[in-house]
A and B are shown apart, each in its own frame.
Chain A
Amino acid sequence: MTFNSKWVQLAVLLALIAILPVFFPSGYYFRVGALIFVNALSVVGLVILIGYAGQISLGHAGFAGIGAYACALGPEALGLHPALAMLLGALVSAIMAALIGKPILRLKGYYLAVATLGFGILVSMVLTNERSLTRGPDGMEVAELGLRDFLKGVGLKLSSGEFWYLVCGLVLIVGVWIALNLFNSSTGRAMRALHGSEVAARTVGIDVAQVKLQAFVISAVYASVAGSLLSLQNRFITPDVAGFMHSIEMVTMAVLGGVNSVLGATLGAAILTLLPQVLTVFAEYEQLIMGLVMILVMIFLPRGLLPSIAAKLRGRGE
């Protein structure tokens, strides 16, 4: 990946976001598009953690939950503007990730997987049980962001779907830009180096514990912002956002598209977000299909869809 390919990838993404609405048969698809962007955003965060730094997390939905409930609780309990609440959520997620990451990132492989899994379950447990605050498993309403009314005021009239398509698309582009910056930076190379060989990374002066923590915190912020956007556009949120299945969805999307590839991850998010929309029977088979995707991709396309396709196109197949 050269310096130029960063701008190529961003241009491809920007073009897709700008052109796709032309083919939308109905306004409903703006909503689907916005959902894809939100999912892609959290998956890009996982690309940084899993793809760059080689660390697994099975509990990142916990951070999505923190971001989502920050937008629900911030305006209600603290009187914050929803946008500020989103920042607060990201901050809380970052702090939580730093606190929790410090001990658990010393773990490798299976132990890390279980510790993160436990964290995610813990967050969803709190969101479900603290009824006085979160109204429990039935979920709670989320305040209006208010930006759309402001835009209307200055003459830009957007439907709710169009508005969120635009906002989430823009945030995704920023997220992808940051992830690509990181890839070719000193910190990003340090992450990829420790993924390759931890001991060698240490001998060239990389503080492996710190760099892992950075990857964990950054990916937590991605998940948190994605959770916030989700709750703001749905105007409603339940503890499911922090649930185990949501964590697994995120990992599956990343793995399917290509966990080393930012664009691949976006593709993975698009496919798995679209499937249930296209196939209405999917809802019933969702877990079955998701699980099969995880197994089959890992066995037959371990690098994921997009990198495998790219390799085929370049004529040196897997």
Chain B
Amino acid sequence: MDALMQFLLSGMTVGAVYALVALGFTIIYNASDVVNFAQGEFVMLGGMITVFAHAAGLPLPLAALIAIVLTALVGVALNKLAIEPARGAPVVSLIIITIGASIVIRGAAQLIFDKQLHRFPSFSGDEPIRLLGAAILPQSLWVVGGAFFIFIGLWVFFTKTLTGKAVLATANNRLAAQLVGINTGWVMTLSFSLSAAIGALAGVLVTPITLVAYDVGVGLALKGFAAAMLGGMGNPKGALVGGILLGLLEAMTAGYLSSQYKDAVAFIVILAVLFAMPQGIFGAKRTERV
């Protein structure tokens, strides 16, 4: 029973990170119909930049802020330099472009930083908190709380602010959005920076627990995508639920089956979702017009 509780807690923690990556996918997918395979690199950048800024003597909160801002800029650059010039290209080309971008980012990170695993201190120390017979790191609470906070913030942004509604309108119908005077180019910029910033924040929150290296991005992207698919591609609520579910499944697998193969769970989930419910939990059915 205690073990189960322990697995649930650690599953919630990684699940929150997957949910944030899935949310990043969702924001860009809704704004541009592009699945950004470089999404995982944003998490890596968030962690790595914070590590090195902190090591250079900056206080942790400032280092984290710098990491988030810089990563958001990388997101904008990605859109301007790689995605926009290829607007209208076939999906296969866009896949290759965003994978290419992901390799560029991790290649650059390897050059600028290094190949080592890094971490920085937890925000509130490493003394485990006892909870219902299980131990939880304070940092885990930061991760779960942070994810929750971001979801609330985004919900407010998309439903209560004019800018958020403009993004939703663009996602719904780009042409119509342009016609009513929405600057859709700016909406794209906003979406990419927002998505990158969320990824970076996830990296900042989770690095003290999972550590970070230049090459963690691809795995995170795969898992974030699995989470987004599980929840239903394009649905923010789905991203949250899918992420947590995937995290729990992974933790259970690691706990009861094999810790070596816990990373296989994401792939199994992808296949299972495709078989059982291709639209995911919250996704809408789409019909192809001919």
Contact = CB atoms under 8 A, between A and B. Distances in A.
A and B touch in the complex (CB under 8 A): yes
B104 A291 contact: yes
Q: Is the interface of B mostly helix, strand, loop or mixed?
A: helix
Contacts, number: 119
Contacts of A284: 111
Interface residues of A, number: 43
Interface stretch (B45-53, B90-98, B150-158, B243-251): B90-98
Contacts of A288: 103-104, 107-108, 111
Contacts of A56: 92, 95-96
B252 interface: no
B225 interface: yes
A125 B222 CA distance: 14
B76 to A, nearest CB: 16
Q: How large is the interface on B (under 10, 10 to 19, 20 to 34, 35 or more residues)?
A: 35 or more
B101 A291 contact: yes
Nearest to A197: B290
A119 to B, nearest CB: 7
Interface in A280-310: 284-295, 298-299, 302
A50 interface: yes
Contacts of B89: 298, 302
Contacts of A302: 89, 93
Interface stretch (B6-14, B175-183, B195-203, B259-267): B259-267
B95 A287 contact: no
Interface in A258-293: 284-293
B92 A109 contact: yes
A3 interface: no
The 10 closest A-B pairs by CB, nearest first: A294-B100, A287-B107, A291-B103, A291-B104, A288-B107, A118-B267, A109-B91, A110-B35, A295-B100, A129-B260
Interface of A: 50, 54, 56, 58, 103-104, 106-111, 113-115, 117-119, 121-122, 125, 129, 199, 244, 248, 251-252, 255, 284-295, 298-299, 302
Given A110-B225, A114-B270, 5 more contacts: A54-B92, A56-B96, A107-B274, A285-B107, A295-B100
